[in-house]
Structure 1
Amino acid sequence: MEVLQEVKPRVYKFGDKKADGNSTMKNLLGGKGANLAEMSSIGIPVPPGFTITTEVCTEYNSLGKETAVNLIKREVEESIENIENLMGTKFGDKVNPLLVSVRSGARVSMPGMMDTVLNLGMNDEVVLGLAKKTNNDQFAWDSYRRFIQMYGGVVLGMKPASKEDIDPFEEIMENLKEKRGIELDTEFTIQDLKDLVFDFKDAVKKRTGHDFPTNPWDQLWGAIIAVFNSWNGDRAVYYRNMHGYPADWGTAVNVQAMVYGNMGDNSGTGVCFTRDAGTGENVFNGEYLINAQGEDVVAGVRTPQQITKLGSERWAELAKVEEEDRIENYPSLEELMPSIFNKLNTYQNKLEKHYRDMQDMEFTMQDGKLWILQTRNGKRTGAAMVKIAMDLLKEGMIDEKEALLLVEPNKLDELLHPIFDSKALKKANVIAQGLPASPGAATGKIVFFADEANKYKSSILVRIETSPEDLEGMNIAKGILTARGGMTSHAAVVARGMGKCCISGAGALKINYKTRTLKVDGNEYHEGDWISLNGSTGNIIEGKVATMEPELSGEFAELMKLSDKYAVMKVRTNADSPKDAKIARSFGAQGIGLTRTEHMFFELDRIKAMREMILAETVKGRKQALKDLLPMQREDFEGIFEAMEGFAVTIRLLDPPLHEFVPHQLATQKDLAEEMHISLQAVKNKVAELEEFNPMLGHRGCRLGNTYPEITEMQTHAIIEAALNLKARGIVCKPEIMVPLIGTVKEFEFQEKIIRTTAAAIFEERNDTVEYLVGTMIEIPRAALMADKIAEKADFFSFGTNDLTQMTFGYSRDDAGKFLPTYLEKGILKVDPFEVLDQEGVGQLIVIGTERGRSTKPNLKVGICGEHGGEPSSVEFCYGVGMDYVSCSPYRVPIARLVSAQATIKSIK
């Protein structure tokens, strides 16, 4: 008997305290759809609706529009009928119409990156029915006007003609406001709104050549397809690439019954956070607008009011508004609608406890009734992220492991950026005040357009208000400043998600895009002028402000201490100077995984001796030049050993080809010839002799040391003597000497013999010893394959993934920029392998090298010292391989410490 396989639904319904899905289904329903289902199930008042799954988006992209629509047509029609039954209305009905919203919903929050349409189902007959049913002509025609504007922009492509122009619908509205002598949308009369509807439809016809669609079902399918298309829109693709989200995830589509915040003074809309998204402070906060719809708040067209009395008082203090004026003109929701506020406060408490994380909620008040439209784990700054995690732990809402997993590793980078020097701030000239939308310090030159943010090395993007199209410029700029908008505007939310300093709602600014000027308090600033933003206070400062280095303190220090409690794999640093070593140690580095000795040779007094060594024609001549370098190298090593007292320090012997140290300009060649009392031609001949067709694969690394053993002798001498000198001072140091670029066992054996012979001679001469290790960097594929043989001699392996990636892929890091962007764009590669470790290829060589090495020497110390040592997914991979440590740049050490702990926790869950 044939068993019929159950067909998996493509559409999931929710509403009336029931739902087909739940919050664990984010990959299928998207974050928004999963949370709408969850909220409905736990009794939160959510407008009923349905979610079309992310898999349908994938089917749409592969099978095309017609096939995808046919796959979901019946389920969508049934789901609309379900909303009709729950709301007691009818989609497309002229007397009792159901209007819906259509929103995107990826599995992760992508604020403003994809498209939304509200009030869908409107036409010339429905608007009359809605007006009669609600006895509110103003509301009905305002909703119709909004629908045409949103549908026209999202579905029909009605965009500004150029960057200096405004949205075509906004232009029509601005002209009417100017004609009528009004400022706000809420001041439009019913006739104004009717005129706008006519003018909007006329603009659509002129721009597109087609009438605005009047059939609600045609409108619905058009909006659904537009949401699917927005997944591959420019701004969504840029946002995905910025955060490393795969293109094949797709987006869900959420269709919900409309609830109306624009029905009059007893209605409104808002966005709120269960905790402060900028600082992490445990304070309920948010913003609302009376007689408005949701997009009004995030668009920043009207500056919203604060939800709580405390927030309202804080806002008034920043905006320099007197208390009497505030209460009369800018009351908080708590003061204006206490009953609604109390319900909202109850829901925010319930949702934070349910999700056990800070929530970002959207809500609408329709004629005195509260609806929750969305909740999600809120975007937050790095500082807020750490504080919230540690506070939730202290409050007993989560345990230690959950607190560590709640922190997004890369966002710790925000806490390691320079901050304004407090002394410099006292002298700063504050020219205006805005809302501190996203903390941080930013200094740069003014730019007025997002696509020109890269015009200067450091820029501040100054806009009247930002839109999702500004994303790339916002990412490039050091900071963002807007004249309009509140703490929940697009600029604020996106900036916090990026960890970017942002000040919004600076109403005193007069920005003119055409003249590219910013006027404030009688002063005029032009494109290219320097300004500084203090995102913690909202102060806008003239010129540059000095900065200072950050430090681990407060909750950040507590988080790092907690990380070390769970981390098994250690974190070292890559450091070439005592200064770098001290910084890394202050950030918790437990040793040095890579010191590049060649970096020590480029200072003026040293490069001369290095060049003398290279130009010497005899071993004796080379040894004399190296003798001059020896004390300089020894001094460097003493400083690094002292900075890392008690921890192991891995020093790589000279790696780059010698041609990097000789002058290639004629003028400097002449200077060198005069200094060394040799002919210019002799210098030119040596430079030509050292030139290589492919230096990457040429005379470098251990090949240099085996050709010129005196170089290895000198460096070993400097390392061992430095260690002995510190030992004499009572300072414990643990040198590890690393041989670079070996591909054969013999290459390592020759270098090891030189190192151990030199060390033994020094020990005998000094009548003292120190423990040291001799190991190698595995950066050639053959070395990984020969690891079992190499481990017979080597004390440790350190995987140099920069070169290992180059040699495994056959890509030159210096030239890959010519094709890698195209490869990423076309999906040939998912990520840049020089930024994120290629686990399928390069990673397998690391697994093979580690396993084979430890098959010979079970206690073989294994680490990684390439740039991947501070990249979260790569660090997690290293833990899975069983490495003893990862090594990264000083400012990535806290990130790697956290990921090491998270990897341990994930492995035992």
Structure 2
Amino acid sequence: MPKRIFTFSRGSAERPADAAEALGLKGANLALLASLDLPVPPGFTVATSAWREAKSESNALPQALRADLRAGIEWLESVTGRRFDGDVRPLLLAARTSARVQMPGIAESVLDIGLNDRTVDVLARELNDAAFAYRSYRRFIESYASLVLDADPAEFEEISDAEGERAGWTEEPQTVADWRALIACYHAHIDRELGAVVPQTPLEQLTNVLAASFASWRHPVATSHRLLHGVPENAGLAVTVHAMIFNERNQKSGRGRAVSRDLTTGESRLSGEFTLGARGSGEIGDSAPVFDLAALASEDPAGFPADLSELTQHVRRLEAHVCDAVEVDFMIGDGALFLMQSRVARRTAAEAIRVAVELTKEEIIEENEAILRIDPASLDLLLHPTIERSDDYVVLGRGMPASPGAATGEIAFSTERVQARAKEDRTVILVRNETYPEDIHGMHLADGVLTIRGGTTSHAAVVARGIGKPCVTGAGSLRINAETGTLFAGDRVLKEGDEITIDGSSGEVIVGAVALLRPSLTGDFATLMEFADRARRMGVRTNAETPIEARSARAFGAEGIGLCRTEHMFFEGDRIQAMREMILASDAEGRRAALDKLLPIQRSDFVELFEIMAGLPVTIRLLDPPLHEFLPKSDGEIAETAAMLSVDEAVVRQRIAGLEEFNPMLGHRGCRLAISYPEIVEMQARAIFEAAIEAGEKTGDAVVPEIMVPLVSLRRELDFVKERVDRVAALVTAERGRGIDYHVGTMIELPRAIVRADTIAEVADFFSFGTNDLTQTVYGISRDDAANFLSTYIRQGILERDPFQTVDVEGVGELIAMAVEKARRTRPDITLGVCGEQGGDPASIAFFEETGLDYVSCSPFRVPIARLAAAQSAIRFSRASGRGGRNRRQDG
């Protein structure tokens, strides 16, 4: 059998090759810290292999594992000089459960294993602190009963309140007799209500905690998380057991979180917070003193109950080891410092970029490594609104800035209220004392989250950052009255449904709605984008047809327009009426008359796009959707159209009925329209060419438009349309007295076009893969109707992901690769791009890089994501293929 138990203590650790896989995150981190000779509590980790062994024996702990546990305890006794169930200096343990990834729903930590009715008094004598010893025992009983016996923690609160009222104490017992009476009540309740006991034998306590921790892998929350994130059911969990640290005992105790850098500036200096362990009761709580580590380091290190310089050295050593900003959880027990956990520092998207750029400047990492460290999808968080600062708004209170961005919405005090308001399309701020896993759905639906308690690593903060929602935590000056549905801030009272604004970057809570702004993507963000542009091979264009979209895309670094959907230009004002006049015309002459009205509108639109793009490529797709989409639908619109055309309403209704289709997606659209009504192509081509000349004369930039013919499946279709385009180009050249450079290509979105890509490439200057329709036609699935069943497919494991969001590599991707090979075999210099939704999806971009496409095109606000994803894909592909770094501008 594989090794079940791995020991660790300062200076040595048993570490398997894949530590996180075998030991879980907590075990792997403690083993790393120990191996670096950093101060850790001694202990051992029961590996995932033991979980799998127990699973195969119907969750019963195998005898061999029980024997290994006894051996592990004996080893711990020899290292610590303490005895499990000892008559003096008893050994107490903490058990912490973890998997290879963060996993909600699995067992919470159980502390003080080893305390019983006898050892609690032994500990009290050793520490000369009976209150602390009994407080620890009380905590152990509650957590043990909750995990192992499935007891309701609230019941112990009720028992404590009742016993306090009977004996005359309020917060906690005051004498040893009082404590013993309360513990006796706990035992009696467990015996009476649960038919069980808390074992008095420490080894039995540990084995029961271990078995219950193993069983928590199948908790519904954990199971849902695994399904959602693709974690294999057999991955299993590990349990790390280590000697207890009494970090809540006195003024020389406490706990904290240290970060190797100031994440707001990227500067290499200790930051974080430290909570002093002792109040009157010795517990850490809301009123326990909290200190800023950066302030302590610069002002009064004597206020820290251990050697602060030693902590700083440990943290810096870890950063040097992992070459990244690190975050360390630590505890101090009676002046002794212990590191409990380390990880790459959790950070916002902006902080991640700042640190990566700073590490590059300090030559700790190279540019390519900085690029690979940023999740492309996280850039979306930088596009969240921020507050437009003014003196007019009223700050209700302040908390901790837990997740970036700002949001305005109505107060809702529960997930249920959020759901109800979200159904009415109202913006909502979820306001809670603190959040729990069952609040996640409400957090997803809410526009922002505000909690009264908690810090920057609380449940609310971590979840909000993960889902990209603004969040403020620890707004302690505010108070919630759940019964009356009110929020108090001093003398001010707000009700559920009142509007507030939260700023997840400053921690401010503001009365009412305030103006919000989008951030400027400069500074470190711009530097990272420079890194990415140097590393990537593929170009990044945008899908845009309005000046606002085009300007936004240029600001985000788009290198042209990869898809201008001309039909989107016809749905407003006079344009839609002219379109309807053209469609309802009875002959070509009538259609041309209507198109003459549209020509100057189209030309003006294209001039503006060409000017904004300033010589960058602009790919204009000819009219694509079926004509019925432009026709009136309501009785009022039909009457208005009939009056405009001076025809009877019956004529309009007859024409509408004649254009109806059973399956418009596969009907009379795309190049089929151009062949049926070539005058449409001629108008659009003339508008494009005249606009190119006009824009070129205005800006001095050479404009080379790319005309894209949609829905081609036959070469003869492209031949037909291209001939009309070429004819118009010749006419415009003769009229204007100057030549026009242009390209004609096609959107590849049908399986037959894939199969005949080599033939179509003979006349096409470029291909642009329309992955939306290609996915529909390959799967035989309507994207509009797929939501009814695709979620079931994903939940059942039939599909790993939505193929309309991430390219289906095995099906659609295989066809794209076939078309690329065929096209380049016929025409090596053909330009190949993609303009479907997947053009902005990082996973799809990785496939497009491997396939050798020249560019991707995506919505304006996904351009930065695509730039970074393209760079990462180029770096990874180069490393995997053993090639050096490639530069898009060098390779062309």
- Correspondence for 2:36: 42
1:406/1:23 CA distance change after superposition, 3 Å? farther
Q: What amino acid sits opposite 1:284 in the alignment?
A: L
- Correspondence for 1:377: 344
Matched, 1:98 2:91: yes
Q: What amino acid sits opposite 1:774 in the alignment?
A: V
- Correspondence for 1:358: 325
8 Å CA contact 2:2, 2:49 repeated in 1 = no
What is the rounded CA distance, in whole Å, between the counterparts of 2:782 and 2:431 in structure 1?
Answer: 38
Q: What amino acid sits opposite 1:26 in the alignment?
A: A
- Correspondence for 1:289: 275
Q: Could you tell me the TM-score, scaled by structure 1's length?
A: 0.88
Deviations 1:653-685 (A, max 9, x none): 222222221222223222222222222222222
Question: How far does residue 374 in structure 1 lie from its aligned partner after superposition?
Answer: 0.4
Matched, 1:523 2:488: no
Structure 1 SS opposite 2:807: coil
Question: How far does residue 170 in structure 1 lie from its aligned partner after superposition?
Answer: 5.2
Matched, 1:439 2:404: yes
Deviations 1:11-66 (A, max 9, x none): 433224212217963344333322221111110111223334456667777x5743
Question: How far does residue 585 in structure 1 lie from its aligned partner after superposition?
Answer: 0.7
What is the rounded CA distance, in whole Å, between the counterparts of 2:324 and 2:267 in structure 1?
Answer: 13
Question: How far does residue 337 in structure 1 lie from its aligned partner after superposition?
Answer: 2.7
What is the rounded CA distance, in whole Å, between the counterparts of 1:376 and 1:518 in structure 2?
Answer: 37
Matched, 1:137 2:130: yes
Question: How far does residue 559 in structure 1 lie from its aligned partner after superposition?
Answer: 0.9
Question: How far does residue 550 in structure 1 lie from its aligned partner after superposition?
Answer: 2.0
- Correspondence for 1:840: 810
What is the rounded CA distance, in whole Å, between the counterparts of 1:846 and 1:106 in structure 2?
Answer: 38
Question: How far does residue 174 in structure 1 lie from its aligned partner after superposition?
Answer: 6.9
Identify unmatched segments of 5+ residues in structure 2.
880-892
Structure 2 SS opposite 1:98: coil
Structure 1 SS opposite 2:306: helix
Deviations 1:392-444 (A, max 9, x none): 1122222222221222211111112222113xx32111122223333322212
Matched, 1:805 2:770: no
Structure 2 SS opposite 1:414: helix
Question: How far does residue 112 in structure 1 lie from its aligned partner after superposition?
Answer: 8.6
Residue from 578, 584, 588 that aligns with 2:557: 588
8 Å CA contact 1:432, 1:506 repeated in 2 = yes
- Correspondence for 2:719: 749
Q: What amino acid sits opposite 2:318 in the alignment?
A: L
What is the rounded CA distance, in whole Å, between the counterparts of 1:899 and 1:831 in structure 2?
Answer: 19
8 Å CA contact 1:115, 1:230 repeated in 2 = no
Residue from 567, 586, 604 that aligns with 2:536: 567
1:834/1:256 CA distance change after superposition, 3 Å? farther
What is the rounded CA distance, in whole Å, between the counterparts of 1:177 and 1:443 in structure 2?
Answer: 44
Structure 1 SS opposite 2:450: strand
Structure 2 SS opposite 1:426: coil
What is the rounded CA distance, in whole Å, between the counterparts of 1:98 and 1:490 in structure 2?
Answer: 32
What is the rounded CA distance, in whole Å, between the counterparts of 2:53 and 2:306 in structure 1?
Answer: 46
Residue from 346, 368, 371 that aligns with 1:401: 368
1:180/1:688 CA distance change after superposition, 3 Å? farther
Structure 2 SS opposite 1:663: coil
Range that drifts further, 35-44 or 773-782? 773-782
Q: What amino acid sits opposite 1:837 in the alignment?
A: V
- Correspondence for 2:617: 648
8 Å CA contact 1:594, 1:887 repeated in 2 = yes
- Correspondence for 1:82: 75
Matched, 1:29 2:23: yes
Structure 2 SS opposite 1:737: strand
Structure 1 SS opposite 2:430: strand
- Correspondence for 2:13: 19
1:311/1:687 CA distance change after superposition, 3 Å? farther
What is the rounded CA distance, in whole Å, between the counterparts of 2:47 and 2:718 in structure 1?
Answer: 57
What is the rounded CA distance, in whole Å, between the counterparts of 2:829 and 2:785 in structure 1?
Answer: 39
What is the rounded CA distance, in whole Å, between the counterparts of 1:604 and 1:477 in structure 2?
Answer: 36
- Correspondence for 2:117: 124
8 Å CA contact 1:784, 1:845 repeated in 2 = yes
Structure 2 SS opposite 1:465: coil
How large is the RMSD of aligned CA atoms in angstroms? 3.2
Structure 2 SS opposite 1:263: coil
Range that drifts further, 740-749 or 51-60? 51-60
Matched, 1:471 2:444: no
Q: What amino acid sits opposite 1:291 in the alignment?
A: G
8 Å CA contact 2:402, 2:455 repeated in 1 = yes
Deviations 1:173-230 (A, max 9, x none): 6777899999977x97656655554555556567655444555455445544554555
8 Å CA contact 1:278, 1:496 repeated in 2 = no
8 Å CA contact 2:692, 2:703 repeated in 1 = yes
Deviations 1:117-147 (A, max 9, x none): 3233444344344334444322222222222
Deviations 1:94-128 (A, max 9, x none): 65543332323333446898633323344434434
- Correspondence for 2:693: 724
- Correspondence for 1:609: 578
Range that drifts further, 705-714 or 235-244? 235-244
Q: What amino acid sits opposite 2:849 in the alignment?
A: Y
8 Å CA contact 2:381, 2:404 repeated in 1 = no
What is the rounded CA distance, in whole Å, between the counterparts of 1:88 and 1:246 in structure 2?
Answer: 40
8 Å CA contact 1:740, 1:777 repeated in 2 = yes
- Once the two structures are superposed, the pairs formed by residues 638-717 of structure 1 within 5 Å of their partners are 638-717=607-686
Identify unmatched segments of 5+ residues in structure 1.
1-6, 161-166, 314-331
What is the rounded CA distance, in whole Å, between the counterparts of 2:63 and 2:800 in structure 1?
Answer: 31
- Correspondence for 1:263: 249
- Correspondence for 1:460: 429
Count of aligned residue pairs for this structure pair: 872
What is the rounded CA distance, in whole Å, between the counterparts of 2:634 and 2:107 in structure 1?
Answer: 53
What is the rounded CA distance, in whole Å, between the counterparts of 2:171 and 2:581 in structure 1?
Answer: 76
Question: How far does residue 689 in structure 1 lie from its aligned partner after superposition?
Answer: 2.5
What is the rounded CA distance, in whole Å, between the counterparts of 1:365 and 1:687 in structure 2?
Answer: 78
1:242/1:644 CA distance change after superposition, 3 Å? farther
8 Å CA contact 2:276, 2:288 repeated in 1 = no
Matched, 1:736 2:706: yes
Deviations 1:692-717 (A, max 9, x none): 22222222222222222222222222
What is the rounded CA distance, in whole Å, between the counterparts of 1:174 and 1:506 in structure 2?
Answer: 28
Q: What amino acid sits opposite 1:836 in the alignment?
A: T
Deviations 1:459-491 (A, max 9, x none): 212111223433333333222222223334333
Question: How far does residue 770 in structure 1 lie from its aligned partner after superposition?
Answer: 2.5
Q: Could you tell me the TM-score, scaled by structure 2's length?
A: 0.90
8 Å CA contact 2:418, 2:428 repeated in 1 = yes
- Once the two structures are superposed, the pairs formed by residues 470-549 of structure 1 within 5 Å of their partners are 470-549=439-518
Question: How far does residue 87 in structure 1 lie from its aligned partner after superposition?
Answer: 2.5
Q: What amino acid sits opposite 1:45 in the alignment?
A: P
8 Å CA contact 2:60, 2:211 repeated in 1 = no
What is the rounded CA distance, in whole Å, between the counterparts of 1:312 and 1:502 in structure 2?
Answer: 28
What is the rounded CA distance, in whole Å, between the counterparts of 2:127 and 2:832 in structure 1?
Answer: 72
Question: How far does residue 826 in structure 1 lie from its aligned partner after superposition?
Answer: 2.5
1:757/1:119 CA distance change after superposition, 3 Å? farther
8 Å CA contact 2:385, 2:407 repeated in 1 = no
- Correspondence for 2:736: 766
Question: How far does residue 747 in structure 1 lie from its aligned partner after superposition?
Answer: 2.7
- Correspondence for 1:327: none
- Once the two structures are superposed, the pairs formed by residues 148-227 of structure 1 within 5 Å of their partners are 148-158=141-151, 167-169=154-156, 194=180, 197-200=183-186, 208=194, 210-212=196-198, 216-217=202-203, 219-227=205-213
Q: What amino acid sits opposite 1:802 in the alignment?
A: N
Q: What amino acid sits opposite 2:654 in the alignment?
A: N
Deviations 1:770-798 (A, max 9, x none): 22111111222232222222212211111
Structure 2 SS opposite 1:387: helix
8 Å CA contact 2:538, 2:849 repeated in 1 = yes
1:845/1:522 CA distance change after superposition, 3 Å? same
